Chain A
Amino acid sequence: MSQLFAVLFDGFAYGMLLFLLSVGLSVTLGLMNFTNLAHGAFAMVGGYVTYSLVELAGWPFLATLPFAFLITAIIAAAFERFLFRRIYEAGELNQVLFTIGLVFAASAVAAYFFGTVHHSVDLPAYLTGFIEVGSVKLPAYRIFLVVVALVVTAIVVAGLEYTRFGAMVRASVDNQKVARGLGLNVNRIFALTFALGSGLAGLGGALAIDILSLDPSFGFHILVLVLIVVAVGGLGSIWGSFLAAACLGIFDVAGKYFIPELGAFLIYLFMVALLFIKPRGLFGRR
């Protein structure tokens, strides 16, 4: 029983990590219909920022996290401003290929600077041990992940629901034409949302180092997972992403634990079946 609980918690923590990695993509995809397969590459940027600061500059792990967010957001904003903006009208296929090209190039650049080896970071002692909750021992880092993810979710939801900017984003996602007609600068809203969403991916990438390990193909590895979360959860839906990420994490970890020979197969099967029945995902608005 306690073993089952530990596995479920492990899966949930993993799911929360996936949520952090994908929530930005869900909102930006819903907002601009810009199919950004390079989202994972931005997560990789965050990962390498934290790795560099911890391992090369000797910063404490926690202090690097805001920078993983910030630097990724700034880089993403620059890419949006100078490159992505040119292909919003170019059609889905061109967007897919352009952003895949970017992932290719980014992974090569990462390999050039950091080598092709797997990197890890030294975590502070209070994040490495186990914490006893009732009769179960849970890894401290997973608990930390869940807490961070819940805090971020709360901030994102509150930001979207209760701030003026959030209202603008929601209006633009729901109906871009009308939002434009009412005088909202949708392009600027999108640029800002894109930067924030990519920043969250960067944060996710930094937090993922200990779980997924960091190497130049990171952007590809998590791409599929991130896309599954976004597609299943539905574009533009925070709660959809949250639910999809939690389910995916639990299914993945539990599947690999209990039925290792079928684990990944079941996830893909489930996703294809769900998208066949509900092409917009669980909570998709459009």
Chain B
Amino acid sequence: MDPHLWLKRKGRISPYEVVFWPIVLVLPFWLFPTYLSLSSQIAITALFCISLDLILGYAGIISLGHAAFFGIGAYAAGLLSAHGWGEPLSGLAFAAVVAAFAGWIVSFMIVRVQHLALLMITLGLGFLLVELANSLGSFTGGADGLQGIDTWKLLGVWKFSFWGKTAYAYSLAVLFILFLVCRRIVRSPFGLTLEAIRENPDRTTALGAPNRAHLQKIFTLSAGIAGIAGALLAQTTETVSLESLGFQRSAEIAIMLILGGTGRLYGAILGAIIFMVARDQLAGMNPQYWYFWIGLLLMIVVLFMPRGILGGLERLAALGRRR
């Protein structure tokens, strides 16, 4: 088959997608207005999760420190706002540029190493950044978090209110637009090449694909998107804490992605929704027990559903069709 035709067919919009987006728009606004702030948190987390899916699910780069870019974006937008420029959209753009630049620098290291060294470098960079943000307390607010963020009205019209309508609409709109961008990217020849590199880097080299350059591109892009997610969090909650950089956030985001299923973008969104809703519902539980269930769930998913929930559903559907 002609490859362009194949790509086009792969990129066709499925009926599930057409149903999904209106639902996530309508549900929090009309049915669960008290959950609006949770919903915008979920949208932000889903965006962050998608950024990890780009490098982990598609390009096969395992990162245990992706929260570093999330945090860089959050601090970039937060500091900009705290120093007197609270316009949200330009704040996002600024955070994206800063985080992408950091990602570009780091990408030179990332593409050189594999396995344990890759894990340790991403992990180490995350810890490094936490220590840095902590010791630059006068600048970042240190352990108390960054104070004094004031987000102006969105487009000069909508105020970020306590109820979080603007925040959710804003986060969801950004998520949707960037999702479309990512969807376009992973279904382009470039995205396909990334998958090929993930599956067999030697072969793509032999076919003439510049592996490292490709991986650097997607890593930079992913860092930028993670930065935007961080900036969204900073702008909608008007605070930035050290946790936004930390290992826990990096680990949680990887858990969500695995839970939902890697390499399919919707897995990232689904994982974020399930994880965040479950945590919200079980918040009354002792955190220790919450970790027990998360740990158990993680082990079960790895053992029995290695492709995540969406991957499992897909396999079930395929089985059903064959009957």
Contacts and interface: CB of A to CB of B under 8 A. Distances in A.
Contacts of A269: 128
A27 B3 CA distance: 46
A231 B297 CA distance: 28
A224 B64 CA distance: 12
A96 B291 contact: no
Interface residues of B, number: 40
Interface in A108-147: 108-109, 111-112, 116
Contacts of A212: none
Given A86-B303, A264-B131, A268-B128, A97 B254 contact: yes
Contact of A105 (B112, B116, B131, B296): B296
B121 A112 contact: no
Given A261-B135, A268-B128, A275 B298 contact: no
Given A105-B295, A105-B296, A109-B292, A271 B120 contact: yes
A279 B294 contact: no
Interface in A239-270: 261-262, 264-265, 268-269
Contact of A104 (B258, B298, B303): B298
Contact of A102 (B119, B125, B127, B295): B295
B121 A93 contact: no
Nearest to B135: A261
A33 B286 CA distance: 35
Given A97-B255, A98-B298, A104-B291, A228 B303 contact: no
B323 to A, nearest CB: 28
A97 B124 contact: no
Given A100-B298, A104-B298, A264-B131, A271 B124 contact: yes
B292 A105 contact: yes
B135 A227 contact: no
Given A94-B306, A97-B258, A265-B131, A105 B299 contact: yes
A228 B120 contact: yes
A20 interface: no
Contacts of A264: 127, 131
B251 interface: yes
B143 interface: no
Contacts of B124: 228, 268, 271-272, 275
A96 B62 contact: yes
A178 interface: no
A162 interface: no
Given A268-B127, A269-B128, A272-B128, A104 B116 contact: no
B173 interface: no
A169 B109 CA distance: 32
B123 interface: yes
A76 interface: no
Given A98-B299, A101-B302, A276 B56 contact: no
A36 to B, nearest CB: 11
A230 B303 CA distance: 26
A216 interface: yes
B9 interface: no
Interface in A66-93: 83, 86-87, 90, 92-93
Contacts of B292: 104-105, 108-109, 112
A172 B254 CA distance: 32
A179 interface: no
A279 B113 contact: yes
A140 to B, nearest CB: 33
Interface in B135-157: 135
B114 interface: yes
B109 A272 contact: yes
Given A96-B64, A276-B113, A35 B306 contact: no
- Which A-B residue pairs are the 8 nearest by beta carbons? A104-B295, A101-B298, A108-B292, A105-B295, A279-B117, A265-B131, A111-B288, A101-B295
Interface of B: 56, 62, 64, 109, 112-117, 119-121, 123-125, 127-128, 131-132, 135, 251, 254-255, 258, 262, 288-289, 291-292, 294-299, 301-303, 306
Given A101-B296, A268-B125, 10 more contacts: A93-B262, A96-B64, A96-B119, A101-B295, A104-B292, A107-B291, A235-B116, A265-B135, A271-B124, A275-B113
20 contacts: A35-B115, A35-B119, A87-B303, A93-B56, A93-B262, A96-B62, A96-B119, A101-B302, A104-B298, A105-B296, A107-B291, A112-B288, A112-B289, A224-B123, A227-B119, A231-B120, A268-B124, A272-B109, A275-B120, A276-B112
